[in-house]
């Protein structure tokens, strides 16, 4: 059983409901990277699975943009220090292209998820607070301050100080949260700010001041929305971490059965040792993945087991990921020995539903083709090449191959090791009379209308008796290297006429 189905089952077993709620969220304090994306993807797969079992569900994504701006990350001008302590929704966009700092970082991942065909209902905490949505929760938290303290202190070395309250307050004058708060009962608090301002407010009426602190806000939100599923990363799952305290607070303060909430492991780029973080500046974005991976393949990567650290390759292992995806697809369509788990995995990661299995051109084959076939000829070439193998490519197949070739081009240009790079070079080569005769014979063959396979056999017949050096010479002449793919395939990729020209000029 795929893990997404397993969690969906656990969710449904919580009891009958009109809509099951799957929740995800993040503080938009910097670039949302491929590690953060694992949460969105995990929630998404479970959401899909709930829907598949015939139940109704909602997938909420909440931006914690009412959280304070606590640190200026790398890449943001230092002068932004002056906004520290304000809610992220009130900090301006450093690049001036969005309404706020928060929106700037939200917009990229929203676009990226859209490309992966993932579109949760996005909500903004600042707007929700602004509408007074959480006033009841604020009141409950304040009334039960002592009980919350007791629960949190269970895991703390230093108990929380006297006068601690489970909420913060943004000053109405300076906008920052360097405030001291006193609960006055009901819906009222008073605060004094380090800027000198002080006020007494009813937080049902003045809604842009009070926010609930994270460890209490999380379970408060589960209770408010009736959240049934929310996975989270390792950083929340340490003993006594925000998940543990969230579970206790959910039950004992808000009387809510906490959601099903597995932990997922980190994601790294292959070869990367350190944890990704915006402050270290060593992050990768989903956009970077999409440069070399098709959207469905990105989804495929994220559908792996949650307790496994994922290492996403940008090196030659890219081939393996694509091969695994293609294989999974063939299994789904019954073209390879069946495997129920992989079939289900494909169902979860596919974006389009094809009637028959797309006829794929492998990533590795395209690595050769994009380097030797002219771009304008690529579609025709692929069509012809596959036909010779007895495979009729239809319009969709060819489109998919061309889409893939774009990812391949990016990979070759930016990440491929030198060993797979091919250049059609006019390099000078030493050539013997015997070899020259051999090339002439090959040129004659090229003028005939033989298939690639026939050509391969015929060329082989000429080259073999002349020895290894002659093989190497041909590759040297064509791609400037001593070896390469099957000669006839290479010749056809380059074009027979171009090869004849090249041989003539030697």
List 1, 56, 70, 195, residue binding Zn ion (CB under 5 A): 195
Which residue, 171 or 493, is less far from Zn ion as judged by CB? 171
Q: How far is the CB of 177 from Zn ion (least distance, A)?
A: 9
Which residue, 26 or 366, is less far from Zn ion as judged by CB? 26
Q: Mark residues 152-171: x for contact with Zn ion by CB under 5 A, - for none.
A: -------------------x
Which residue, 198 or 347, is less far from Zn ion as judged by CB? 198
List 51, 110, 160, 174, residue binding Zn ion (CB under 5 A): 174
Does residue 343 belong to the site contacting Zn ion (CB under 5 A)? no
Give one DSSP letter per residue of 473-488, joined into a string: HHHHHHHSSS--S-HH
Which residue, 103 or 296, is less far from Zn ion as judged by CB? 103
List 11, 60, 165, 193, residue binding Zn ion (CB under 5 A): 193
DSSP, collapsed to helix, strand or coil, labels residue 169 as strand
Q: How far is the CB of 30 from Zn ion (least distance, A)?
A: 13
Cβ proximity of 5 and 33 under 8 Å = no
Q: How far is the CB of 81 from Zn ion (least distance, A)?
A: 16
Q: Can you tell me the distance from the alpha carbon of 188 to that of 192, in angstroms, rounded to the nearest whole number?
A: 14
DSSP, collapsed to helix, strand or coil, labels residue 115 as helix
Which residue, 21 or 286, is less far from Zn ion as judged by CB? 286
Which residue, 193 or 328, is less far from Zn ion as judged by CB? 193
Give one DSSP letter per residue of 214-236, joined into a string: HHHHHHHHHHHHTEEE--EEGGG
Does residue 93 belong to the site contacting Zn ion (CB under 5 A)? yes
Cβ proximity of 320 and 301 under 8 Å = no
H or E segment to which residue 372 belongs: helix 363-372
Cβ proximity of 182 and 201 under 8 Å = no
Cβ proximity of 45 and 77 under 8 Å = no
Cβ proximity of 256 and 219 under 8 Å = yes
Which residue, 73 or 258, is less far from Zn ion as judged by CB? 73
Q: Mark residues 43-82: x for contact with Zn ion by CB under 5 A, - for none.
A: ----------------------------------------
Q: How far is the CB of 178 from Zn ion (least distance, A)?
A: 7
For Zn ion, which stretch binds (CB under 5 A), given 194-202, 230-238, 335-343, 465-473? 194-202
DSSP state for residue 156 in the 8-state scheme? -
Q: Is 257 exposed, middle or buried (0-12, 13-18, 19+ CB in 10 A)?
A: middle
Q: How far is the CB of 316 from Zn ion (least distance, A)?
A: 36
Which residue, 174 or 357, is less far from Zn ion as judged by CB? 174
Considering only residues 301 to 320 of the shown chain, the ones binding Zn ion according to CB under 5 A are none
For Zn ion, which stretch binds (CB under 5 A), given 83-91, 193-201, 232-240, 467-475? 193-201
Rounded to the nearest 5°, which phi and psi values hold at 192? -125, 135
Query: Which residues make beta-bridge pairs with 263?
Result: 232
> Could you tell me how many residues of this chain bind Zn ion (CB under 5 A)?
11
Q: How far is the CB of 83 from Zn ion (least distance, A)?
A: 13
Tell me the CA distances in angstroms from 395 to 70, 378, 404, one per residue in order. Answer: 52, 14, 14
Cβ proximity of 290 and 298 under 8 Å = yes
Q: Mark residues 94-133: x for contact with Zn ion by CB under 5 A, - for none.
A: -x-xx-----x-----------------------------
Which residue, 175 or 480, is less far from Zn ion as judged by CB? 175
Q: How far is the CB of 338 from Zn ion (least distance, A)?
A: 48
Does residue 197 belong to the site contacting Zn ion (CB under 5 A)? yes
Which residue, 180 or 482, is less far from Zn ion as judged by CB? 180
List 71, 131, 173, 440, residue binding Zn ion (CB under 5 A): 173
Closest to 59 measured CA to CA, from 99, 113, 13, 126:
113
Q: Can you tell me the distance from the alpha carbon of 140 to that of 135, in angstroms, rounded to the nearest whole number?
A: 9
Q: Can you tell me the distance from the alpha carbon of 262 to that of 376, in angstroms, rounded to the nearest whole number?
A: 49
For Zn ion, which stretch binds (CB under 5 A), given 172-180, 280-288, 308-316, 350-358? 172-180
Q: How far is the CB of 84 from Zn ion (least distance, A)?
A: 13
Cβ proximity of 247 and 241 under 8 Å = no
DSSP state for residue 341 in the 8-state scheme? H
Q: Can you tell me the distance from the alpha carbon of 13 to that of 46, in angstroms, rounded to the nearest whole number?
A: 14
First to last CA, the chain: 62
Which residue, 108 or 500, is less far from Zn ion as judged by CB? 108
Q: Can you tell me the distance from the alpha carbon of 47 to that of 29, in angstroms, rounded to the nearest whole number?
A: 26
For Zn ion, which stretch binds (CB under 5 A), given 38-46, 196-204, 234-242, 294-302? 196-204
SS (H, E, C) 182-209: EEEECCEEEEEECCCCEEEEECCCCCCC
Q: How far is the CB of 259 from Zn ion (least distance, A)?
A: 33
Interacting residues toward Zn ion by CB under 5 A: 93, 95, 97-98, 104, 171, 173-174, 193, 195, 197
């Amino acid at each position: 059983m795929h893990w997404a189905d397993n969690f969906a089952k656990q969710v449904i077993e919580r009891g009958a409901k009109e809509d099951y709620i799957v929740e995800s969220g993040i503080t938009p304090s910097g670039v949302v990277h491929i590690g953060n994306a694992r949460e969105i993807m995990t929630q998404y797969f479970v959401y899909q699975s709930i829907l598949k079992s015939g139940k109704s569900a909602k997938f909420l994504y909440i931006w914690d943009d009412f959280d304070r701006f606590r640190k200026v990350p790398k890449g943001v001008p230092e002068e932004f220090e002056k906004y520290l302590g304000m809610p992220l929704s009130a900090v301006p966009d450093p690049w001036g292209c969005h309404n706020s700092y928060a929106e700037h970082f939200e917009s990229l991942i929203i676009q990226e998820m859209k490309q992966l065909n993932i579109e949760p209902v996005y909500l903004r905490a600042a707007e929700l607070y602004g509408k007074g949505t959480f006033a009841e929760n604020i009141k409950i938290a304040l009334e039960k301050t002592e009980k919350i303290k007791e629960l949190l202190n269970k895991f703390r070395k230093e108990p929380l100080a006297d006068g601690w309250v489970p909420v913060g307050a943004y000053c109405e004058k300076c906008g920052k949260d360097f405030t001291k708060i006193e609960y006055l009962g009901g819906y009222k608090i008073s605060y004094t700010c380090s800027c000198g301002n002080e006020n007494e407010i009813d937080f049902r009426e003045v809604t842009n001041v009070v926010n609930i602190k994270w460890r209490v806000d999380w379970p408060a939100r589960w209770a408010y929305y009736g959240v049934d599923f929310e996975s989270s990363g390792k950083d929340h799952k340490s003993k006594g971490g925000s998940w543990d305290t969230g579970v206790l607070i959910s039950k004992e303060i808000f009387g809510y059965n906490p959601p099903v909430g597995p932990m997922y492991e980190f994601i790294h780029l292959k070869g990367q040792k350190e944890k990704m973080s915006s402050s270290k500046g060593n992050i990768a974005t989903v956009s970077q993945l999409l440069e070399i991976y098709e959207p469905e393949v990105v989804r495929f990567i994220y559908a792996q087991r949650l307790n496994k650290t994922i290492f996403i390759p940008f090196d030659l292992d890219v081939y393996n990921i694509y091969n695994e995806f293609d294989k999974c697809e063939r299994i789904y369509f019954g073209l390879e020995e069946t495997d129920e788990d992989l079939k289900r995995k494909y169902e979860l990661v596919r974006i389009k539903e094809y009637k028959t299995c797309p006829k794929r051109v492998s990533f590795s084959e395209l690595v050769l083709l994009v380097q030797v076939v002219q771009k304008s000829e690529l579609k025709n070439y692929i069509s012809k090449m596959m036909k010779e193998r007895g495979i009729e490519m239809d319009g969709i197949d060819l489109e998919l191959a061309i889409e893939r070739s774009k990812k391949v081009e990016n990979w070759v240009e930016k990440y491929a090791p030198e060993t797979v790079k091919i250049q059609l070079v006019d390099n000078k080569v030493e050539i013997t009379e015997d070899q020259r005769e051999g090339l002439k014979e090959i040129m004659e063959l090229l003028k005939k209308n033989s298939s690639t396979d026939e050509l391969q056999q015929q060329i082989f017949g000429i080259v073999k008796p002349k020895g290894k050096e002659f093989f190497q010479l041909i590759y040297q002449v064509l791609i400037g290297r001593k070896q390469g793919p099957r000669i006839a395939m290479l010749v056809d990729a380059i074009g027979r006429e171009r090869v004849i020209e090249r041989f003539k000029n030697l």
